[in-house]
Amino acid sequence: MIPNKVESTDGDENEKRGNWSNQCDFFLSCLGYAVGLGNLWRFPFLCFKNGGAVFLIPYAICLLLIGMPLFLLELYLGQFSSSGTLTVWRFSPMFKGVGIGMMVTSSLIAIYYNIVMAWALYYLFASFTSKLPWQDCGDWSSDTCITKLPDISGCNATLQEVAYPNGTCYNANGTLLGVYNDTLLKQYNITRSSAAEEYFFNTVLRVGTGLDTFSDLTGISWQLSLCLLLAWIIDFFCLFRSVKSSGKVVYFTAIFPYVVLLILLIRGTMLPGSRSGVEWYIAKADVSKLKDPEVWLDAITQIFFSLGASLGGLHALSSYNKFHNNCLRDAIAVSIGNCLTSVFAGFVVFSYVGYMAELQGVDIGHVAKGGPSLAFVIWPSAVATIPVSPLWSILLFFMLITLGLDSQFTLLETVFTGLLDAFPKVRKHKVWVHLAVCLVLFGLGLPMCAKGGLHLLDYVDSAINGWPMVILGLTELIAVAWVYGAYPRYKVIFLRAIEDMKIMLADSPLLK
């Protein structure tokens, strides 16, 4: 592999591609890429699902044996070759398809990531009010919404008496409008729902809670479409000058979420039930879970998903490093920082989960859910009950937006860098290339603004996360270890890669 290095008179080693303005830009970009929405809603739920604190054991093992080595490998490949995910395979062109797979995967993730950003923008705008719209049920909610159901304390549940909106008790002989009795609700298969849940499904997504297929891609929401367009406009203006512009934005987007998480944690610990939530998160350790292969698979896939390995993003970011940058130090610091953030976010999340369980009088297991239901149902429900709720809601959703932006920057930079490296003649028109890519991906994301968009998003997410990322990462390891690293005259795998790293890290105290 030959470094693609050209000296420049403006301080950049590579005149054609450019370099990061300083090392801090690169480090914060890597940290922001690794720390994303998955740290906030996926990792805490996996801990809850897989034995509490016990899940940290397979997670830490997978981090040390798989995550950190692969993270370092991808930083090395991009930095040594000064190439993005499509052209880094010059050392073995037969593996170029891996780079194409990484770029396609990053494009698909960028599409649905911006849908989640559009949801967050929708909530952010809705929070600028004296009373949050999902604080109580409204015209948009169904008859089983909790605050629409009347008080039936005077009704006799054993006689199957139910209350109607006028407050009179009647025998349950057919119509069940306004039922609010757990025994009767179960008997007639009626599910109560919170105002925040119905607001998310009925107002934001406009799908209704009963839709279970993504086949209905009609009725695109113009409100969500405008929020999606705004998300792509933000992406474009933050990235149109590549790392020279995004490297400055990350100083805010990478640090601000930690400030908000700390504020939310302090407020969450003051709420009733928060201690029970935290105990569910870490104290209820189930050692028997370590025998379950699914727990280890969850740990592996979470490491890939969280660190962003095998997506090409690390190739793109490190390709703008100067040749002698200490990528070993960066790999260790970012990997550990990302995982510590996941653990810290779990304390924040479960303090509010415990509070919601206490508020609703239900078991924590009924509240602790992963995915969009955590970010757009549980947390909005929680902040709606706190004094000065609009302020907390604004902070919450602005934090989600900044978390998403960091990851989105690198996902798109992977696509931009890959295209510009593969077709260097268009580099002088890179602003137009960025605009064209954003417009295409915006158009591909519009179906997710339809009624069945949530289920289409879930389908795409489940299809590309997990095994596809593991397979791409494994193939990359084979390419470097046995094709490039074990060239015929070498007896040890990875030997050539190790020699390359020694050249780059000649001044590193870690190798002396």
Query: Would the annotation count 228 as a binding residue?
Result: no
Q: Where are the alpha helices (DSSP H) in 374-445?
A: 379-384, 389-422, 430-445
H/E element, 475: helix 467-478
Query: Any known ligand binding at 35?
Result: yes
The DSSP bridge partners found for residue 390 are none
- Whether the CB-CB separation of 454 and 372 falls below 8 Å is answered with yes
Element (H, E) at 121: helix 96-126
User: Is the CB of residue 363 less than 8 Å from the CB of residue 357?
Assistant: yes
- In the structure encoding, which two tokens stand for residue 1, read together? 């592999």
**Residue 306 labelled as part of a binding site:** yes
* Count of alpha carbons within 13 angstroms of residue 235, beta-carbon side: 35
189 a known binding residue?
A: no
Q: How many CB atoms lie within 10 A of CB 275?
A: 16
Classify the phi-psi angles of 483: left when phi > 0, otherwise alpha if psi is within -120 to 50, otherwise beta.
Answer: alpha
Q: Is 407 annotated as a binding residue?
A: yes
User: For the stretch 159-182, what's the b/e string if a residue is b when 16 or more beta carbons lie within 10 angstroms of its beta carbon?
Assistant: ebbbbeeeeeeeebeeebebbbbe
Residue 493 vs residues 3, 360, 497: alpha-carbon distances, Å = 21, 57, 9
Whether 321 has a binding-site annotation, put simply, is no
Three-class SS of 242-254: CHHHHHHHHHHHC
Q: Say if residue 32 carries a ligand binding annotation.
A: yes
Binding residues: 32, 34-35, 39, 306, 338, 403, 406-407
List, as residue ranges, the binding site for Na(+). Answer: 32, 34-35, 39, 306, 338, 403, 406-407
